[in-house]
Structure formats: structure tokens, C-alpha cells
Amino acid sequence: MIMPTRMSTTQRALGAVAALVVSLGAAMPAPAQQVQFQFSQRETWVGSPSVLTITVKDADAISDPVLPKVDGLEFMLQPGRSTMSSMQFVNGAMTRDNSTTLTVLVTPVKAGVFSIPPISITVDGANHASQPTTISSVPSTTGDLLKVEVISEPTEAWIGQPVRAVLRIMVKPYRNSQHRVTLDEADMWQFIDAQRCEFGPFQNAMAELRQRGQRPMGHEELVGSSSYLTYEVSTAYIPSAPGIPSFGDIRVAWNYPARVDESRGFFGRPELSVSATKPISAVAATRDFVVRALPEEGRPASFSGAIGDFAINASAKPTRVGVGDPITLSLTVTDRGDGASLAQVQPPRLDTPELERDFRMPTAPLAGTVAGLTKSFTQTLRPVRQGVEQIPAIEFSWFDPTRGQYARARTAPIPIEVVASEHISTRSILAGSDAAPSAAPLEGAAGGLLANIAPSDAMVAGARWQFVSPAMLMSIGGLPAVIAAILFVKRRRDRLSSDMAYARARGARSGARRHLQAGDASAALTSFIADHANRPHGTLTRADVRAILRASGATDALAARIDAQLAIADTRRFAAAGSAPSARADADSIEAILDELGELRWADSRTPHRGDRP
């Protein structure tokens, strides 16, 4: 016979908890599935979306909505879903609430009234659909809400004279009389649509502000009888043609507030927020700015475009050399103004009869190095005959915009001593002759030192072969192959040192990959294009990129892919914090674009170096 056992205190407590859970489960109502469809607005503007939110409560499996096709409307399901969960006890009964929200942008691409058929979604195997509805759109008119202009300081300038160009963005502050609210300059700037903006030559200035977490400072001013908030961004500009200058396609876009609604905040206090906007845009006009052509009268033959007020000095070393030995000539141009134009100063002309009679030099353009108020150029000269006594005076000329006339200065002649060469020339080596070199003029070669770069072992390695004796070469097996290899390496080194466009194109891919490894897809693309088109880094706008690609034979599809990548980068730069895409660029996609870019006809779009000689 089995006797019953007494329950312990712990067992009785566990039983009570189990009973409570069962009773709560019985008291909790079964979840009721609910699907709600709601449009943010049914009247909008062309290009401004109406937002459809789909809220699903208490569901486990939710499909993507099936979006219809309507002529004149674009439907786009936004990535990501918003999920909220809550639980509460009321009179001993527990209730829970789980909701998931999906967002669809419905954007009119033309004006009109559009009928939207039911939009369906499957929830836990059951189909739910919205009611048929209509939305309307009208063209958005900018009117006098937004004005954009470019002015210059000074308002009159000569071609090549650096000026300060100022982009002025003027927008009317939004006012709502019902709620007695007026948005100030900080609030209004939040509604600029950076993705639709084209800032042209002001792009870099805008990017620098964004990188520092800043925006253009605004102030209120009266224009006619209307009050505007004016934002100003400036950049250095050098006009290149007479007349009213063109700054390219500068367009500013704004999502202008259209409605303000009142809601309750976290603590129940009333809060105002902008609930609707309309898209507006304006193209910049150039105001009160005229560029004058440089006069033809009195223009020196040595003039190469320098604008300002300058001085020039020259030095050379060594001053005692043999025929054909290199002399490093250093030229220093000093700006006696503010130094704003030094970056554009070209080197003094060295193709004068006096220099070319006694010296040979590379034909590659000199890059120059700017330090403070000076710009230095370095060139290699090789005397072609014994007895040359000096490096002749070198003339440098410029246009003085203050006096409106040309000016010039000359360096002092530099005494040198040229003696007979003790070296055997490369020409003699290749001919297999032991005879001393003749006194005939040397052939032009680009074997001198690179301008503005200190000599190194790597740079002069090719030159050492000029001084190897014929007996040493004859002791090497396969002399023809050795000579061919020497010539190939020398020609390639000479081209890399003398042809800057070729050198940049050779290194374009490695430079782009460095930007790509840093996560900057925009810099990777623009640097690659700038190197192949021989354009300065950091100066290409989206409009410039499109023009270069068109000239290089890029397909419309490739140009569109590149423009989309640059647009995403612009969005990251100018969008409010947290609102821009944060994903890193797809490296494989960018590499594929670089492969396609490498096949283009870059010679058709390449900009030659200023100062190239025919």
C-alpha cells in the first residue's frame, strides 16, 4: 500500500506560481491582427513624395507590399522596418502590443490627379489591402522664395587676376501666422536639399564646412521690400575670358516648409514641427562682375600670364663643369603682393636664342614649388661646347593690374667655366668606339634632374652607364641584349620624368585604390578621372566629370553609375547628421567602374600642361 507524501513548502510555492501564470494566460486577450494604411498627404508637388505608412500589429510573418504601376507616379519601398513592443497590466490583466511599420514613398513625376489601386500585403498568410485612393500634384513654383547670385570682389578684374568670388544664397524665412512662428537662419538651413544642389567652383568650400561640422553663416537683410536670410560662401577665382564670367551650372535646391503641425511631446507639452515641404530651386546669376581682356599693346615676348607684382632671382651650381655635364639652374619668383596668384605663375621662358645656342635642356614643363610668397623652379642645363662663360640673363614679365600695364625684370648673368669633357658619351659607347667625344653639339636629351626634386641615386642610375668603359661592357655576355635593356629602361624613365600626363595616368589606379581603401569612393573616382584627364586634384565637379566622360567616349550607363556614386557622396557631406546613408562603398563595384574607365579614349579629354612647347 502506497502512502501519500506531504508536499514541501517549495513545492507548494511553485504550484501557486504555475497557477498564476495559467490564470494570467487565460485572462490575456488573444492578439488581434491589425493592418493600417495611411498617406501623409494627398496633395503634393511634382517631385515631392507623399509618404504611405503601413502599420502591422501583432504579427509574426510580414511580406513586402505589392506596389502597383501608375503612369506619372514612382513607388519606392524604403529599406528597413520600424518595430515597437510594449506590455502593460490593467486590473490584473496583462496586454501586449507589437507593431511593425513599413514606409513607401509615392512621388509624382508630373502634374495631375492620380488614382492609386489597392496596395496589398501578406500578414501571417492572410492578404490585406488598402482602399483605392487618389493623390494630386501641381508644379512647384519658386517665385521669390529663393534667389541665388554670384558676386565678385573687386567687381572689375583682368583676365588671370585672382578675385574673391562669393556665392549668395537668399531664402525667405518661413512664417506661420496660426502658430505665430518664424524659422530663423539655423532652422531654414536644415531644409536645403544637398542631393539636388550643384555648387560648381564652390563645391570644395562647402565640403570643408561640412567636414568641420559647420554651415554657412546667415544673416537677415532687406531686398526691396522683402526680408531674406542670406548665406554666403566664398572661394578664390581666376577669370580666363573677358566679359561676364560663367561659373558653370550652379543650382541650389530647397525643401521649403509648407505646413507646421502641433503635437504633444514626451512630457505632454505642445511641440511644433514641419509636417510638409515643397521642392524649390534656383540657378545662380552673375551680378556686377566684368572681366577685361589684357591689352595687346606693350605685351613682352616673355609674358606667360603672370598677374600682379613680382621680382625674380637666379642661381646655378656647379659653376665649373665639363661639356655635357649638368648645371642646376634655380629660379625664384617673389610675389610682392599677397601671394594669391603664385599658384598660377608659369616659369620664365628659357627657349631664348641665347640659352639654346650654348645649352641643352629638357623640354618638360617646370612644375614649381610655392613656399610663402615665393615660387621656385629648377632646370638642368648642359653646355654644348667648351668656353661658355655665362648663363645669360633671364627675363620674367607680368601684368600689373593696379597700373594697368606690363612690367618686366631680368636676372643678372651667372658666370660659369666650361672645360673639355673627360667622359665618354653614350653615343660612343653604343657605337663601340674608344675615341673621345667630338666637339659637335650634343643631341637634346631629357636626362637632367627633375625640376624641384633633389637628385637621388634612383634618378641618376641611368646616367652612370654613360661613364662605363667599353672594355667593361665587352666583358659582359650578351652585349646587344644589355644595351637594349638599358635603352628601354632609360626611355621609360625619361618619359616618366618629362611627360607629367603620362606619369599621372600610369599611377592613376594605385592612387584610386588608396582612396578606396580609406572608404572614400568619390575621391577614388574623381582622382582616377583627374589623373587620366590631366586635371588638378580636388577641382572636378559632377558637371566637370560628366563633360570629361562624354569627351572620352563613356557610355551613358557608365556615366550614370559614376554620377550616382558622386551624388551619394554629396548626400553624406551635406545631409543633417544621422540622415545620410552610412554604408561604406562597395569596393567591387568601384573596381569594376575603374576597369571600364581604363578603356576610355582619355587623349580626347586630356588637358595639356600650360607652357608645353610644340
Q: What is the pLDDT of residues 360-379, one digit of tens each?
A: 988 777 888 999 999 999 99
User: What's the rounded Cα separation, in Å, for the pair 379 and 230?
Assistant: 50
Residues with Cβ within 8 Å of 266's Cβ and at least 6 positions away in sequence, in order, are none
For the segment 585-612, the average pLDDT, to the nearest whole number, is 74
User: What's the rounded Cα separation, in Å, for the pair 524 and 397?
Assistant: 39
| 326 contacts 421 by C-beta, under 8 angstroms | no
CATH of domain 34-138: 2.60.40
The beta strand positions in 40-92, using DSSP E, are 43-45, 50-57, 73-77, 82-90
pLDDT tier at 143, thresholds 50, 70, 90: confident
Answer whether residue 26 shows pLDDT above 80: no
pTM flag (> 0.85): no
For 271-310, the DSSP string reads: EEEEEEEEEEEEE-EE-S-EEEPPPSTT--TTEEEEES-E
Where is pLDDT greater, at 332 or 475?
A: 332
- What is residue 471's predicted lDDT score, i.e. its pLDDT? 52
**Maximum average pLDDT range among 260-264, 354-358, 458-462, 601-605:** 354-358
Residue 182 cell numbers, joined: 518664424
Residues with Cβ within 8 Å of 215's Cβ and at least 6 positions away in sequence, in order, are 186, 189, 209, 231
CATH of domain 303-422: 2.60.40
Q: What is the pLDDT of residues 197-243, one digit of tens each?
A: 999 999 999 999 999 989 998 999 988 888 999 999 999 888 888 88
- What is residue 18's predicted lDDT score, i.e. its pLDDT? 46
For the segment 443-468, the average pLDDT, to the nearest whole number, is 41
Answer whether residue 513 shows pLDDT above 70: yes
Answer whether residue 576 shows pLDDT above 70: no
- What is residue 607's predicted lDDT score, i.e. its pLDDT? 59
Answer whether residue 445 shows pLDDT above 50: no
Lowest mean pLDDT among 143-152, 442-451, 466-475: 442-451
DSSP SS3 for 597:
helix
Q: Nearest-CA neighbor of 550 among 570, 536, 533?
A: 533
Residue 324 cell numbers, joined: 655635357
Q: What is the pLDDT of residues 261-318, one digit of tens each?
A: 877 666 667 778 888 888 888 999 888 888 999 999 999 999 988 999 999 999 999 9
| 334 contacts 313 by C-beta, under 8 angstroms | yes
Average pLDDT, whole number, for the chain?
Answer: 79
Answer whether residue 404 shows pLDDT above 70: yes
- What is residue 452's predicted lDDT score, i.e. its pLDDT? 39
- Per CATH, 34-138 and 303-422 having the same topology is answered yes
- β-strand partners of 237: 163
Lowest mean pLDDT among 91-95, 105-109, 163-167, 241-245: 91-95
pLDDT tier at 485, thresholds 50, 70, 90: low
Answer whether residue 1 shows pLDDT above 50: no
* Every domain of the chain and the residues it spans: 34-138, 146-291, 303-422, 502-604
For the segment 334-351, the average pLDDT, to the nearest whole number, is 87
